[in-house]
C-alpha cells in the first residue's frame, strides 16, 4: 500500500505537496510515485469509485525534494500550466553545492538541451537546433571553506536546469554524482535511483486557478539536511 503524501495545502482542487527525494513525481503504473500516492490517498479518503484524475502541471526530479502542486481537475491543471508557461509562478530552491561562487549573488544564463534517450542534459551553443535558454538567479546564504548554501530562483524551467548550471560553474550540488559531485547526501540507498541530492524546492507561489487568491507555500526540510551542521541555524532556524 502506498504511503500517504505529505500535504502542505489543500484548497479546493489544489494540493501543494512536500515531495521527498528519491521519489518519482510520476511513474509507470504500479511504480511508487507522488502521483500514485496521491491518487491512492484520494480514492481511500473520498471513497471514490473507479479511476481518480490527478493533474500534474510540473515535476521535480526524482532526487529533488520540496514543494510541488498537483490538482484534482482538468481546468485547474490547464490554468496552472498557463501560469508556468507565462513564467508567473515563483519557484525558489535551496541547494548546498561543492565549492564557492566568486560573488554573493548573480544570474546564470546558459543554452542547454535534454540529451535524447538519456536522463541527462548538457550545455550547447546557442545555434544548436535543440538549444533552450536557461536562466536562474542565485544568492549565497552561507558558506564554509568547502560548501555553499544557495538560494536559487528559477526564471526558466528546463530539464535538470539547476543541476546542470551549477555544475557548469564548478559548483555541483552535493550528492549529484550525475553532474560531477564528489560528496554524498542523505541515506545510502541500495538503489542509486532512490538517493537524494541537496536540492530542495523551498517555496512555491502562484495564483489559485479557481479562486484567484495567492497560493504561497514553504516546504520544510527533511532531517537529511541536518548533516550540514554549519548551516543548521539558517536551514532550521
Identified catalytic residue from 4, 46, 61, 188? 61
Predicted pLDDT at 30:
84
Tell me the pLDDT of the chain (237 aa) as tens digits. Answer: 778 999 999 999 999 999 999 999 999 988 999 999 999 999 999 999 989 999 999 999 999 999 999 999 999 999 999 999 999 999 999 999 999 999 999 999 999 999 999 999 999 999 999 999 999 999 999 999 999 999 999 999 999 999 999 999 999 999 999 999 999 887 654 456 667 899 999 999 999 999 999 999 999 999 989 999 999 999 998
Q: Which residues of 96-130 are buried (b: 16+ CB within 10 A; e: fewer)?
A: bbbeebeeeeeebebbbbbeeeeeebeebeeeeee
Distance CA(37)–CA(203), nearest Å, equals 22
Predicted pLDDT at 79:
98
pTM above 0.85, yes or no: yes
Predicted pLDDT at 187:
63
Which residues lie below 8 Å from residue 40, measured CB to CB, with a gap of 6+? 1, 2
Neighbour count for residue 72 (Cβ, 10 Å): 19
Predicted pLDDT at 29:
86
Predicted pLDDT at 2:
77
Predicted pLDDT at 205:
98
Q: Is 130 a catalytic residue?
A: no
**Domain regions of the chain by residue span:** 7-236
User: How would CATH label the architecture of 7-236?
Assistant: 2-Layer Sandwich (3.30)
Predicted pLDDT at 193:
61
Asked whether 67 and 18 are in contact (CB, 8 A), the reply is yes
Amino acid at each position: 500500500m502506498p504511503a500517504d503524501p505529505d500535504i502542505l495545502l489543500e484548497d479546493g482542487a489544489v494540493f501543494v505537496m512536500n515531495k521527498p527525494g528519491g521519489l518519482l513525481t510520476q511513474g509507470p503504473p504500479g511504480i511508487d510515485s507522488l502521483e500514485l500516492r496521491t491518487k491512492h490517498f484520494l480514492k481511500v479518503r473520498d471513497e471514490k469509485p473507479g479511476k481518480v484524475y490527478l493533474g500534474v502541471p510540473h515535476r521535480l526530479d526524482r532526487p529533488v525534494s520540496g514543494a510541488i502542486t498537483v490538482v484534482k481537475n482538468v481546468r485547474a491543471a490547464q490554468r496552472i500550466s498557463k501560469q508556468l508557461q507565462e513564467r508567473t509562478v515563483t519557484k525558489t530552491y535551496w541547494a548546498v553545492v561543492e565549492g564557492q561562487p566568486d560573488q554573493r549573488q548573480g544570474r546564470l544564463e546558459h543554452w542547454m538541451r535534454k540529451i535524447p534517450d538519456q536522463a541527462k542534459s548538457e550545455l550547447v551553443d546557442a545555434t544548436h537546433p535543440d538549444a533552450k535558454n536557461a536562466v536562474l538567479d542565485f544568492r549565497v546564504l552561507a558558506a564554509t571553506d568547502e560548501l555553499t548554501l544557495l538560494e536559487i530562483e528559477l526564471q526558466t524551467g528546463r530539464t535538470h536546469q539547476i543541476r546542470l548550471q551549477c555544475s557548469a560553474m564548478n559548483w555541483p550540488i552535493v550528492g549529484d554524482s550525475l553532474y560531477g559531485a564528489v560528496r554524498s547526501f542523505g541515506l545510502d540507498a541500495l538503489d542509486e535511483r532512490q538517493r537524494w541530492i541537496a536540492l530542495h524546492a523551498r517555496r512555491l507561489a502562484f495564483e489559485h486557478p479557481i479562486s484567484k487568491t495567492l497560493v504561497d507555500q514553504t516546504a520544510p526540510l527533511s532531517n537529511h539536511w541536518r548533516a550540514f551542521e554549519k548551516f543548521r541555524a539558517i536551514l532550521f532556524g
